[in-house]
Structure 1
């Protein structure tokens, strides 16, 4: 088979085909006189059978390239800069400029939200039942979209303007005074200067997490920025992603009463410890240390350290950002579900950054091919 034939049969690009060769999945022979490589048809067919592969639809990406966030060696980098360093010095707005425009010093104009926030806040305030902050955010984003006739403009400058309008509108819809009074047990408590700033920077992006993939899929279909954020919020609302912080908050409350009993109860039930471990990191979550440094000497920080010591030596079991955020919430009097809302507001920056990348690649679409195992027509 020629390179083109083998790539077409496997449904991949030529670059991927040669990657298969380097990994030992295929062998190739270089043609004489500078002719292109050829592939053994039997090997190609065997790989097709192994992968269950068929020709991919035109424009379907097997690999997503990004210049935004690198996760390597138990560290996080935004455009080559260590996120934990940025969290100690930078504002969320400057990090948004870094991720959206590639330059922390690039100014982003504040949106004119006059006549917009009040009706959105009114709708959000009258939701039935007992909506969580993230429920309010989802409704706020949909309402903000309906009020923005320019939302379909996907030119980069317009997307950035819409993104800032969405970001500010989300916070404004939760209530007057910003994010802190909307999430604090006592809204009159003064906001500590570093808590929200640090958390919003640390959580701004984390590579191709589930919610970010949902946002990129929406952007690949040329959905407007509000729809991209809505897709991210939908994927975020699950126990193994965005709502994990609430489980960690609950677990830490139990541990504050009796650390050993809290761990033993989870182990007895065969459950993983909430707020421990991560699918990406191997020995530590670098974001956790930055958050815990905000509460030195607190009972909560001491209990997290005690819990970590109790499970030390177990591979991949260490305090993660959810447990650290839960400790910060308890020290500063934030509600149990505040971590979810902070996560959602912070990650909106990352979703928009990934959308900007996706909009710039007009030929890219996502479509996962399913292996049908149901009834066949007779």
Structure 2
């Protein structure tokens, strides 16, 4: 019996050695984890996601892994920090935006200079293709616009701008049977039609709308009942171009997660719009807008700032975690606002807010404050800045979706760190039971 067991063990070892000879060296879970620089649990997470295959050898108690496959995954993880749960902070490769000190760049070009010298549509096209096309205009299919307007028109009156834009994006998707085409040209084509569809779906302030010319001109009629001068239209166009992208903001990360799952571009944009609505993101300029009106009404920033601080709130429109100095987008807009006659009072109120807070903290104006000066001076509602932000950022979301479609699918899948009670736990008892 002992000889038979010994013979059986030799047969198992020989089979394993034969398998290794055919397929290459196999690693234990511990060895695979060490090679990947992760915990053993993460190795099994890779298996569950289909990134790594495992096999139990004859007579083996644990799983084994092909050494070549493990090494290939380790190389991918070194190139792509998002592929491993061991990395301390989420990091995504991008060719779109670089933020460096108090400046930012689109494809290596100073973004503020680009926005000051080119229209929003030209900057969006540059972001998508790397080609500057002077005079380009985005147009929306009439049938798509009609469908989007009907859907937006059915919303309750109290619906906010982001509600309307989300519904318009969903309607545009439903009207496009080719929306699942994720080729580069198809996605760029979607961007060129979706952005004007979002604008055209918004109800005009005075019942009349403009559906041709530069996108900024069309957007103005949805935001203000005033007749715009050239300076105001130029500021709106520049604001759109400045806000096209800003690296991996929360909404942009949501877009990339959706695109990583190969959601079509309309769905990816909808994901971004869902995140944008928060008071710490796209809606921040509305808070600054209301604050400026309060300053103008009370004649001084001091009591308004005091009220904000007493309530334990941050003063809207000040500071940015990525810029130690002044936000370059704010700097560009303030330079234009100084030449806009109607902006004088709101501009003075903004400067009063900055000066008042500077007595206690070194915070500079950010783009939300500059946008608030513009909306408050142009007869726009407090939500006007949110609309401008959302329309502008759609172009950046399309650019990030384009990049993400070229990456390994579902790479935006971090592993959760479970901190709940350890199993096994008894079944829960119903209340009153």
Residue deviations 1:226-259 (CA, integer Å, cap 9, x gap): 0010000001010111111111111111122221
CA gap of 1:323–1:72, structure 2 versus 1, over 3 A, is: same
- The match for 2:269 is 229
Conserved 8 A contact 1:211-1:236: yes
* TM, length-normalised to structure 2: 0.72
Structure 2 unpaired stretches of 5+: 1-29, 44-82, 204-208, 211-217, 426-433
Q: Superposed, which structure 2 residues align to 1:176-255 within 5 Å?
A: 176-177=209-210, 178-184=218-224, 186=225, 192-255=232-295
Classify 1:365/1:309 alpha carbon distance in 2 versus 1 (closer, same or farther; 3 Å).
Answer: same
Name the count of aligned residue pairs: 333
Using the alignment, how far apart are the partners of 1:346 and 1:198 within structure 2? 10
C-alpha contact (below 8 Å) 1:294/1:328 kept by paired residues: no
Aligned-partner Cα distance in 2 for 1:308–1:182: 30
Gaps of 5+ in 1: 13-54
SS in structure 1 of the partner of residue 104 of structure 2? strand
Task: Please state how far the C-alpha of 1:334 moved relative to its aligned partner.
Answer: 1.4
Question: C-alpha separation between the residues in 2 aligned to 1:187 and 1:253?
Answer: 18
Once the two structures are TM-superposed, the CA of residue 195 in structure 1 deviates from its matched residue by 2.0
List aligned pairs for 1:18-167, cutoff 5 A. Answer: 56=84, 62-105=90-133, 110-111=138-139, 113-167=141-195
Q: Cα 1:251–1:373, aligned 2, differ >3 Å: closer, same or farther?
A: same
8 Å contact kept, 1:292–1:328: no
Equivalents in 1 of 2:114, 2:327: separation in Å? 16
Normalised to the residue count of structure 1, the TM-score between the two structures is 0.82
Alpha-carbon distance between aligned partners in 2 of 1:344 and 1:308, rounded to the nearest angstrom: 26
Choose from 356, 360, 363 the match for 2:402. 356
- Higher RCO (CA 8 Å, separation ≥ 6 residues): 1
- Give the secondary structure class of the aligned counterpart of 2:306: helix
CA 1:2/1:251 → structure 2, altered by over 3 Å: closer, same or farther? same
Q: Give CA deviations for 1:312-352 in whole Å, capped at 9, x if unaligned.
A: 26555111111110111111211110100000000001100
Asked if structure 2 preserves the Cα contact closer than 8 Å seen for 1:295 and 1:331, the reply is no
Distance in 2 (CA, whole Å) between partners of 1:289 and 1:127 is: 37
Paired residue secondary structure (2:248): coil
CA radius of gyration, larger in: 2
Aligned-pair Cα RMSD in Å: 2.5
1:377 aligns with 2:424: yes
1:288-307 CA-to-partner distances (Å, cap 9, x unmatched) read: 12112222261211222222
1:173 aligns with 2:201: yes
Q: Give the distance between the partners of 1:247 and 1:109, measured in 2 at CA.
A: 32
**Aligned mates of 1:106, 1:112 — CA distance in 2:** 19
**Whole-angstrom CA distance in 1 between matches of 2:403 and 2:362:** 32
Match of 1:277 among 313, 316, 319: 319
1:108 Cα offset (Å)? 6.7
